[in-house]
Amino acid sequence: MAVLNVNGKSLEANADARTPLLWVLRDTLGLTGTKYGCGIAQCGACTVLIDGVATRSCQVPLNSVGRKKITTIEGLAQDSKLTKIQQAWLELDVPQCGYCQSGMIMAATALLAAKPQPTDADIDAAMTNICRCGTYKQVREAIHAAAKA
């Protein structure tokens, strides 16, 4: 039994030590906002923050996490108050199908924490998540909007 620090809470997770964090979050802890897209760290749909670093949770075994702080998409808004990034996403109507957007928002959250005023090149480098609907332009605009907010 592992005890994880997820979204500011200590949660017990009864899963095999090698289970990727992605599936611990989804199946064991019921936090299904973090998505499965590829399982090989290519698509970024499973991105969470681990101690503030955007991390593809499909490649993180449960036994490597320890008490590091995990933040998932469910942990961003506090008391239903959206973060400025979520707010920018809302105002610019970013998602289409929306499936990749949890990962996009988590990656953007880490980017803006590290670089509050990112350039387009910074965004290109940090935002390698796959979107099949084609929201790339709106994601970029929303990051710039959040940076100004």
- Shortest distance (Å) from residue 44 CB to another protein: 10
30 vs 116 by CB, closer to another protein:
30
| 141 part of the interface to another protein, by CB under 8 A | no
| 23 part of the interface to another protein, by CB under 8 A | yes
One of 68, 69, 99, 115 touching another protein (CB under 8 A): 99
Stretch that binds another protein, among 49-57, 63-71, 108-116, 127-135 (CB under 8 A): 127-135
Residue among 107, 97, 148, 105 at smallest CA distance from 127: 107
Amino acid at position 124, single letter: D
Residue identified by tokens 């796959």 is 130
- Shortest distance (Å) from residue 53 CB to another protein: 19
| 109 part of the interface to another protein, by CB under 8 A | no
| 43 part of the interface to another protein, by CB under 8 A | yes
Residue identified by tokens 């109507």 is 93
| 30 part of the interface to another protein, by CB under 8 A | yes
Q: Please, what's the largest Cα pairwise distance for the chain? A: 43
CB 74 within 8 A of CB 105: no
**What is the Cα 115 distance to its own chain's centre?**
17
Handedness of CA 80, 85, 91, 93 (dihedral sign): negative
Positions touching another protein (CB under 8 A) are 3, 9-13, 15-16, 19-20, 23, 26-40, 42-43, 45, 72-74, 76-77, 82, 86, 89-90, 93-102, 105, 123-124, 127-140
